[in-house]
Amino acid sequence: KSPTIVDKSAALRVAARRIAWAKTMNAGQTCTAPDYVYVHEAKMEEFVDAFKSSVHEFYSAHVAQSSDYARIINTKHHNRLTGLLEGLEIIHGGAHDVRSLFIEPTLVRGDWNSAIMKEEIFGPILPVFTYSDLEEVITKINTQPKPLALYVYTEDKKVRAQIISQTSSGGVAVNDSIVQVVSDTLPFGGVGDSGMGAYHGRHSFEAFSHAKSTLVRSTYFDPSIKYPPYMSNLKNIRRLMRFF
């Protein structure tokens, strides 16, 4: 579950637009999609409005009729996703149609006790939490399995450095989402539960190559201390240790 943090210093309109794009790309069915977002409480209303505006900008007010918006891969996953909405407060969206495998881009009020926070969503549903204390957000993220990606939206270098240094994830993107995957100069991969190893560019070569270790020793000096009988050698070692 790749988290997103939207700091109070973030450029909100740009942040919401980029998060909406990343969350609705292929209807959220990408492994690096933002899975949930923490928004500073002072920016929550502005974030929601900007997210809605971005969805309308991308897909019009009638998302179901947009040729640019994808569908859920099959009925099983459509039903799984709509099932995750049960009992949640829907902030925006929520429309769905199993016949066309359509689920509208949806914002829901975050609830750590809900089913949606127990698994990777892999769909166009985004739980939103508010926060006032960044330390608490970092602590909560660190109690979860390590994510494949972590996204930070901030104009504050200290906040950026704090989040990057105090969390662990496969990769981090600052003031954008998903685009870190397309860089051939950055290694792409997970850590812990999100996977091991990395690839892309030179890192792909290294990932699929074996570094063969080779030791070459001189025959000029061959001390007997490594050879049996060990007990007599141990006595010699003890004698030597007296001088150190």
Catalytic annotation, residues: 31
> How many Cα atoms within 13 Å fall on the side-chain side of residue 52?
13
Q: If you ran DSSP here, which 8-state letter would residue 220 be given? A: S
Amino acid at 139: T
Instruction: Judge whether 104 and 95 are in contact, CB under 8 Å.
Output: yes
77: tokens are 């996953």
Q: Are strands 36-40 and 3-6 parallel, antiparallel or unpaired?
A: parallel
Closest CA to 104 of 130, 66, 150: 66
Half-sphere exposure of 122 (CA within 13 A, CB side): 12
What one-letter code names the amino acid at 8?
A: K
DSSP letter assigned to residue 188: B
Q: Is 11 helix (H, G, I), strand (E, B) or coil?
A: coil
